[in-house]
Structure 1
């Protein structure tokens, strides 16, 4: 039994070591003429930058990556894309630490205003590696700047749209992420600020136990406890389909509208089909391009210091907007 336990622990350690070595090799491979998943236009002496994501493989990061690759190619910069596919704070922090140890020229990452995250951003800065946050911020850190949406303004914009669509009255169910983020809190702050001006509008949430579950379970919980709810607003980017399915299961499609802080292809398709009333476009590709352009500006010591934040456009996407985009 002890031999089996030892073998299992040993195998796990080897696997973790292999992942670490692979990530470090990916960064160093640029000097050896290997691609390692990165792109460069000028070869071994180009700046080496890594983009680290909290949601690798998502629509958001695919769009950010598209913009970042375009900008990197224009600057002759070698760029790699790392990240975790599911919420894994430990692995995310490990990747940041590896990037620092690899002495990259710059780091672009999705921020989190947590002590462990801030500590690593500050560590990179102290070692002369500029860090730029993208899409979500870490304002308490020494990052050089933030590029992305103003999440507080997103809440205000969506609140204004909801108030208009509901004619200033009605109960709205809010579907949250299982783990509340700074982004969610800023959106809710703006949303509440607008809707509090309308005495006829009320925001409701799933019960404490249900709030940690997926979007469909939160929707069911709200429908169970607040039968007069007439609309739902989804904070998680991938929650639209689950909210709609739960509403349909309860035969509430005709008297329940759905709104999203998201405008992914799936959300737009559901808006087109009349299942979701509106989403929020956040221009992720622009974020990717701007983050690389500003990092290059910092590396070239041009027009410094950078502004604390560079906000990308936001806009409500409704049926008319989706119809205009159709081929």
Structure 2
């Protein structure tokens, strides 16, 4: 009886040991398979694009390119930002992205210490930041993608001077809150006009300069009746400039130039109300920013260059009509 009991216990122990060994081998094989296999879909990289002006033509175009590139790379992408160039709201959106532990941030840059600190905070958390359309070179951003705004000023300045035959007073319509982009464009504009001493730039008085484009145009016409042309820095300000200039005299030959290539500006160019605009390829910026962020996350062909400039070109009536649907 005792012998039978011993055999039964011994056989049960062997069976339990065999079952344990089988489970251990199964788990090891499963772990090995997970380490060398493809990651689950839930592990895809998540990035966010943050803009200074949500819903604008510029941002819509950049989002289109970014969305297309993210789909190609299998990345999840979100969009957020401010609606009226509110830097405080922009910083808040970056902070939210950091707290959400996204894998990467693409953002329109602002060359200010508080913006640089927020970018640096993301970098310290291991989140790479790329600036797009406008830069923040004093921050730890990985690279900048967009137009060379200084070269925009040079390109438009030369075209403007040649159109005017090398002489004339040009009224500059500015943004109420002058941005780094504006300053770079103005630097380029002044540089280009150094070889045209008979072309002179004028600006609205201090109080008027804080107002919208039409008020600035009126002020310059009051103080400089001989203005031969206007050039607008604010996007989509062409209609207001044209309306203010026409209200004085439709028979005048004042020309209008824009640092903008939106559909509204192109329509004004086709109608002859605006002489030229500037094409900046925003969709390409969006696509390239996601491509380069993916390169950084993959550790592929690093380091990135400090900046990647997208093409710029002057848009005249001929180009606007050719590109019309």
Q: Taking structure 1 as the reference length, what is the TM-score of the superposition?
A: 0.86
Bigger CA radius of gyration = 2
| Structure-1 residue corresponding to 2:169 | 171
Alignment partners' CA distance in 1, 2:97 and 2:321:
43
> Any residues of structure 2 matched to 1:1-327 within 5 Å, and which?
43-252=41-250, 254-327=252-325
Contact 1:247 1:253 in 2 (8 A): no
- SS of 2:287's partner is helix
- Alignment CA distance shift 1:243-1:69 (3 Å): same
Alignment partners' CA distance in 2, 1:60 and 1:83:
13
Q: Deviations over 1:211-257 (max 9, x none)?
A: 00000000000000000001000000021111011011111553210
Alignment partners' CA distance in 1, 2:234 and 2:279:
14
Q: Deviations over 1:117-161 (max 9, x none)?
A: 000001101111000000000000000000000000000000110
Q: Deviations over 1:92-131 (max 9, x none)?
A: 1111111111110000000001011000001101111000
Contact 1:133 1:146 in 2 (8 A): yes
Q: Which 4+ stretches in 1 moved above 6 angstroms?
A: none
In structure 2, list runs of 5 or more residues that go unmatched. 1-39
- Alignment CA distance shift 1:76-1:163 (3 Å): same
Alignment partners' CA distance in 2, 1:200 and 1:287:
37
- SS of 2:206's partner is coil
Q: Deviations over 1:270-326 (max 9, x none)?
A: 000000000000000000000000000000000000000000000000001012123
- SS of 1:44's partner is helix
- SS of 1:62's partner is helix
Alignment partners' CA distance in 2, 1:111 and 1:187:
16
- SS of 1:255's partner is coil
The count of corresponding residues between Structure 1 and Structure 2 is 286
Alignment partners' CA distance in 2, 1:89 and 1:193:
30
Alignment partners' CA distance in 2, 1:253 and 1:121:
52
Contact 1:175 1:219 in 2 (8 A): yes
- SS of 1:242's partner is helix
Alignment partners' CA distance in 2, 1:97 and 1:194:
40
Alignment partners' CA distance in 1, 2:283 and 2:165:
34
